[in-house]
Amino acid sequence: MLVIYILVHLIPVKPIKDDGLHSKNRKRIMPNPLTEPPAIDPIYEAQFYCNVPSISERSMEGHGPHYFKLISVHVLIRHGDRYPLYAIPRTKRPNIDCTLMPNRKPSHPLLEDFISHMSKGSEAQMDGSLSSLPRYPSHSLCEMGELTQTGIVQHLQNGQLLRDIYIKKHNLLPIDWISKHLYLETTGKSRTLQSGLALLYSFLPDFDWKKINFRNQWSTIFCSGHCECQRRNHYLEEEQRRQYSLRVKKIDLEKTYADMARIVGIPTRQLRASNPIDSMLCHFCHNHFKVIKKHQLEDEKERQKKKYYYLYALLASHPILNQTVNRMLRIAEGKKEELFVLYSAHDVTLSPVLSALGITGAKFPRFAARLVFELWKDEKKYNENFIRILYNGVDVTFQTSFCRDFNKHFGKMMCPLEKFVHFVKQDMFSPFNTTSYYDACRRRPF
């Protein structure tokens, strides 16, 4: 058994608040089977991050008044459990089998059919280099960053949960759905493509390769044609300097970093906590070691005070949020295309989106995390549309900066779509004293 020290928080200090629906006949259903401890507990936090499938998960997705109609769903996921991205020199690599075996735990009732179906994917429409990626993991000794069976099962479970809500309950897709009813996008990593395929396989009423068209997104922040942004890069560099400055102020912490850097074989200044922790968490998630201690940092408190990351997040997440808003507006006007949207992404995709939305209590994106945007139509009032935002099944709509006060003053169950539109089209640029993404990216920071 390998014994190590976890040195940093994977999550913000504040826990997620429970924002239950205000309808009298609705009960709060917590999606997390673990009982959250009253104080920060490294074992609990690591278990939450690993997100190992155990019991069936229930959530708050799809909850709305009977006179509201769900008309569109946008899902942003982090890939499932994977093999480490970094190897620690002079240590044995974790011995993890990445082949898929339905009789090995964790498993899923659809896993065997999923394996069979993925081997017949020649008719799929894959953008660019995606066509050359494997449809499912298959190495007996995982390659670096490869999705594991746990990762596949996590998203089979996600897809089945969303299918029960959006397909069976709300009939989001027509019975004769075609490819234009979906919008699918993934980065060029096999782990994101495979995670997206696993979710879709258990979500869609009839998984048909001819209707699956994944677009390739080369940027991990999904900025598409709007990736050139000098100011965004500036704030990211400032955030990295802040982290390093805080680290060197802590004598014990810096000594620990020096010890780790010596083991890893790189200069102390070049060591990032994510490198060893990524490998250590793999051991933990696959029951290879026991965490015995965690060094609690003041990083999150200072990060919120300095706001470098928040400013970076606003510029990093604007392109994907702008796409989401534009798509919602088209659907609100009556368009029947792209009713279900899936972005299969990374933690570095979800984190800035959560920060930009103002959800300060959100936990660090765990494996197979999901952020869902629901668009609803009030059938009593023809021109009124509303949104709900859910993170890992928890309703966080009124934790967002643009709808927090609306809930306080009006006590509504949902947030008006125009509040979200105004936030993305205007409010996101206010901290930069500009009125457009173009100007915000190019104006020199002071």
The 10 Å Cβ neighbour count of residue 47 is: 19
Q: Is 286 annotated as catalytic?
A: no
Q: What amino acid occupies position 80?
A: G
Query: Of residues 63, 74, 79, 283, which has the active-site annotation?
Result: 79
For residue 106, whether the previous peptide bond is cis, meaning omega lies within 30 degrees of 0, is yes
What whole-number distance in Å separates Cα of residue 427 and Cα of residue 429? 5
Tally: H helices and E strands in the chain: 13, 11
Q: Is 127 annotated as catalytic?
A: no
What whole-number distance in Å separates Cα of residue 141 and Cα of residue 98? 6
Q: What angle do CA 187, 310, 300 make, to 5 degrees?
A: 100
DSSP string for 33-75 = -SPPPSS--HHHHHHHHH----SPP---TT---TTEEEEEEEE
What whole-number distance in Å separates Cα of residue 443 and Cα of residue 440? 6
The 10 Å Cβ neighbour count of residue 311 is: 23
Tell me how far the alpha carbon of residue 78 is from its chain's centroid.
4
Which residue, among 253, 218, 220, has the nearest Cα to 236 in the 3D structure? 220
Query: Of residues 286, 347, 378, 422, which has the active-site annotation?
Result: 347
- Residue whose entry in the numeric block shows the structure tokens 């029960």: 164
Q: What is the DSSP letter of 95?
A: -
For residue 445, whether the previous peptide bond is cis, meaning omega lies within 30 degrees of 0, is no
Active-site positions read 79, 347
